[in-house]
Amino acid sequence: MKDIYSNKIEQIPESKYRDLLIILSNRRSSDSAISRRELAYRMNMSDREVRELITRARKSRFPIIINHNEGGYYLSNDINEIQEFRSRELHSRINDLKATDDGMVEAIEFLKEFSPDQITIDEVVRR
């Protein structure tokens, strides 16, 4: 029996992206997770390039999970595991970005009260 992701991966043209998915399709649990450093080494890519491919794969419905305890990535087919990853990793990032955006909106509203030559950075910090 073929893995649930095999057909999807086979349809992807030969590329580093496909190579990543093939490697991860053989890593199906936290026990077999592979580090990003090892992925970068095996694929002859930079850490940043590997991170970008992982992000691309996640956006394309490949649930790549990171296991911080075991120190690596794997391709999951466990719905509970994927939900836990979303809660632990993604929702905290979303909330952090929202708080940062809220702060920027408040800064814009505050600065609208002044023309650029009327306020110094010290005055901004004190408020």
Per-position pLDDT tens, the chain of length 127 = 457 888 788 888 889 999 999 999 888 888 889 999 999 999 999 999 999 999 999 999 999 999 877 779 999 989 999 999 999 889 988 999 999 999 999 888 887 776 666 666 666 666 6
> Quick one: tokens of 118?
């009327």
Inter-residue contact 69 to 59 (CB < 8 Å): no
The reported pLDDT for the residue numbered 2 is 57
Three-state SS at 84 = helix
Enter the pTM of the model. 0.74
The reported pLDDT for the residue numbered 1 is 40
- Of 10, 15, 9, nearest to 64 by C-alpha is 9
The reported pLDDT for the residue numbered 26 is 85
Q: Which residue spans within 1-127 are E strands per DSSP? A: 64-67, 72-75
Report all structural domains of the chain as residue ranges with CATH numbers, in order of start.
Answer: 1-77 (1.10.10.10), 78-127 (no CATH)
